[in-house]
Amino acid sequence: MLDILKMIIYKLPIINGYRKNMNDLVTDVKSLELETLKNLKSSKSANTLRAYKADFRDFALFCQQNGLISIPSEPKIITLYITHLSKTSKFSTLKRRLASISVIHKLNGHYLDTKHPIITENLLGIKRVKGTYQRAKKPILINDLKLIINAINQDKNSKSKSENKALLLVGFAGGFRRSELVSIEYEDLEFVSEGVKIFVRRSKTDQSGEGMTKAIPYFGNSEYCPVVSIQKWLEESKVKSGKIFEMSDKNVALIIKKYTALAGLDHKKYSGHSLRSGFATSTAEFGAEERSIMAMTGHKTTQMVRRYIKEANLFNNNALNKIKI
């Protein structure tokens, strides 16, 4: 061992006439470890990190209640937690919790083998017993959106009609995620003769912050036009800088719940994601191509978009349409 250490020291670089010593090397490694962990945290959005931490808290509570160590953990403990969770949760939740536990371990400098056979085979067994099907929340389609906007117009108790209309119409027309929608700033808007360009600074699939621009044209009916609605809201609010919607992404979901109920829809079947899925499904229903939908939503893979297209074409490409009775 001593010979190996001598070889390492001998090979250390000479800086300003002095060979770096082992203490310097240890210090460098520690600082690199800290910087690496910082980079790992920076690779995730604030919302994503919050979701990971929330998932991990549930796992930590399970470990505490059963006298187990939550971090660093081991495959046997993870698979016990998964089995426990499978009794009340969907399969997709199990996969998400597993991913969250793995990420939290990485962020704390620990390695967790989530591909260990005891975990993967347990998941496979649960999958075969429970299945993976889950009923997604409904998309807000064109006719739904009109009903919702009409409900906002008729809401005598609301002091935020213009803001709510702009929020929902822009959210739908841009295929925005909730976090993107509430992050729009006045400086991100550029009104042109065709409509409005909205610069999205950062999104779930753009953690490097390259940004993207979404273009929303004027609609024929000004009552349901997102461009007109956002212009009216800016005029009323007198916002000239910073965020144009002063609310959290959770508020978006609450507003959707409120006005789907007032519109006579089953609010339990809708969520904050319903605007985004509604855009994708509606545009697919009207014949928009896959790549043009992805260009607006920012999806990096076709899997989710094709799911929306499949939903939209359930009746359009239905074999029963060929039957005349």
Active-site choice (177, 178, 224, 259): 177
- Dist CA 110 CA 104 (whole Å): 8
Determine contact, residues 141/149, Cβ cutoff 8 Å.
no
pLDDT at 41: 62
- Dist CA 64 CA 244 (whole Å): 43
pLDDT at 298: 83
- Dist CA 260 CA 71 (whole Å): 43
pLDDT at 208: 60
- CB within 8 Å of 182: residues ≥ 6 apart: 243, 245, 247, 248, 249, 251, 252
Angle made by CA atoms 122, 76, 100, in degrees to the nearest 5: 75
- CB within 8 Å of 308: residues ≥ 6 apart: 139, 277, 280, 281, 284, 293
Mean pLDDT per 10-residue segment, the chain (325 residues): 42 48 56 67 70 91 94 94 90 91 89 93 88 75 95 87 95 93 95 95 67 92 95 94 92 95 94 92 88 85 81 78 78
> Is 273 among the catalytic positions?
yes
Active-site choice (97, 105, 178, 276): 276
For the stretch 148-202, pLDDT in tens is 999 999 998 877 899 999 999 999 999 999 989 999 999 999 999 999 999 998 7
> Is 299 among the catalytic positions?
yes
> Is 276 among the catalytic positions?
yes
Alpha carbon 228 to chain centroid, angstroms:
28
Of 140, 93, 136, 154, which Cα lies nearest the Cα of 252? 140
Active-site choice (30, 299, 310, 324): 299
Cis peptide before 72 (omega within 30 of 0): yes
- Dist CA 1 CA 23 (whole Å): 17
Please state which architecture CATH assigns to domain 142-316: Orthogonal Bundle (1.10)
- Dist CA 35 CA 44 (whole Å): 15
pLDDT at 18: 46
pLDDT at 139: 92
- Dist CA 281 CA 209 (whole Å): 27
> Is 105 among the catalytic positions?
no
Alpha helices in the chain, H assignment, sequence order: 2-11, 22-42, 46-65, 75-86, 91-107, 117-130, 142-153, 161-173, 178-181, 226-237, 249-262, 274-285, 290-297, 302-316
DSSP code of residue 206: B
> Is 128 among the catalytic positions?
no
Distance (Å) of CA 171 to CA 151, 174, 289: 17, 6, 20
pLDDT at 121: 94
- Dist CA 323 CA 29 (whole Å): 72
CATH number corresponding to 46-130: 1.10.150.130
Determine contact, residues 101/55, Cβ cutoff 8 Å.
yes
pLDDT at 234: 95
> Is 110 among the catalytic positions?
no
Side chain identity at 282, as an amino acid letter?
S
pTM of the model: 0.66
Active-site choice (218, 308, 310, 324): 308
Element at 191 (helix H, strand E): strand 189-192
Determine contact, residues 225/216, Cβ cutoff 8 Å.
no
pLDDT at 263: 95
Active-site choice (127, 197, 204, 232): 204
